Amino acid sequence: MILPEVRDPRLVTVRRGGALTDADHRLLALWAALCAEHVLGLVEEEVPGDPRPRAAVEAVRSWAGGELPMMRARAVGGHAMGAARPLTGPARLAAYAAGQAACVPHVAEHDLGAAAYAIRAVHHAHPQDPSAGVGERDWQREQLPAAVRDLVLEDQARRDAICWGAFGDAGPRR
């Protein structure tokens, strides 16, 4: 569960009564795509013939560029999550990261789903290195666009507990 019971109006689009502008929504989507893409190799090594996770990353970028409708991006995200279900370990988590990224056009708060799953994928890929997940979190934070940086960091602090502790300094829980 990565979505809070009470939504932060700053992460709800203006069209739905919130404060999130279209420009910032696109920035969140592109950041989620970067987070997911950073771990795609983990799933592509496991199932090199399955295009669904990569298609999800491409779909969110197409949505952000105005080339794909939100409902289509969300559907492609669902397909990536379908690719994740039979997998285990880092590959499964990486595929879920891609699926979450493609759902950001529908619900902006899926950005942290993409980020948290990617952090967990790295954490599980390197069990001998307890700092691997924190390193991935730090890399992600370096990629944050300035316009949404504070918003994302505040949201990470607020939702860390429901995102498996992925954003804390101790790294994610297994």
Question: How buried is 160 (Cβ within 10 angstroms: 0-12 exposed, 13-18 middle, 19+ buried)?
Answer: middle
Query: Which pLDDT score is estimated for 97?
Result: 98
5-10 — which CB contacts under 8 Å span 24+ positions?
7/109, 8/109, 8/155, 8/158, 10/151
C-alpha distance across the termini of the chain, in Å: 14
Query: Which pLDDT score is estimated for 171?
Result: 86
Q: At what angle do helices 132-143 and 110-125 cross, to 10 degrees?
A: 140
Q: Please, are residues 41 and 136 in contact by the beta-carbon 8 Å criterion?
A: no
Query: Which pLDDT score is estimated for 166?
Result: 96
Cα separation, 102 vs 55, in Å, equals 9
- Neighbouring CB atoms inside 10 A of 9's CB total 11
Query: Which pLDDT score is estimated for 143?
Result: 98
Across the 174 residues of the chain, what is the mean pLDDT of every consecutive 10-residue run?
Answer: 88 96 98 98 97 98 98 98 98 98 97 98 96 97 98 97 94 81
> What pTM did the predictor assign?
0.97
Measured between alpha carbons, how far is residue 43 from residues 48, 86, 89, 100, 138 in Å? 8, 12, 10, 15, 21
